[in-house]
Amino acid sequence: MLRVFVYGTLRAGEVNDLNAAAQRHGIAVPTLLGTGTVAGRLYDFGTYPGLVLDASGGPVVGDLYEIADELLPVLDEIEEVYPGQATLFVREERAVLHNGQPIACLLYPVAESAVATLPRIDSGDWVAYRRARDTTAT
Nearest alpha carbon to residue 14 among 137, 136, 125, 138: 125
Q: Any bridge partners for residue 120, and if so which? A: 43
Q: Is-catalytic flag, 79?
A: yes
**Regarding beta strands 2-6 and 58-67, do their DSSP bridges make them parallel or antiparallel, or are they unpaired?**
antiparallel
Instruction: Give me the DSSP letters along 88-126.
Output: SB--EEEEEEETTEEEEEEE--B-GGGGTTSPEETTS-H
CA distances from residue 42 to 64, 94, 120 in whole angstroms, order as listed: 17, 16, 6
Catalytic residue among 66, 79, 93, 112: 79
Question: What amino acid positions are annotated as catalytic residues?
Answer: 79
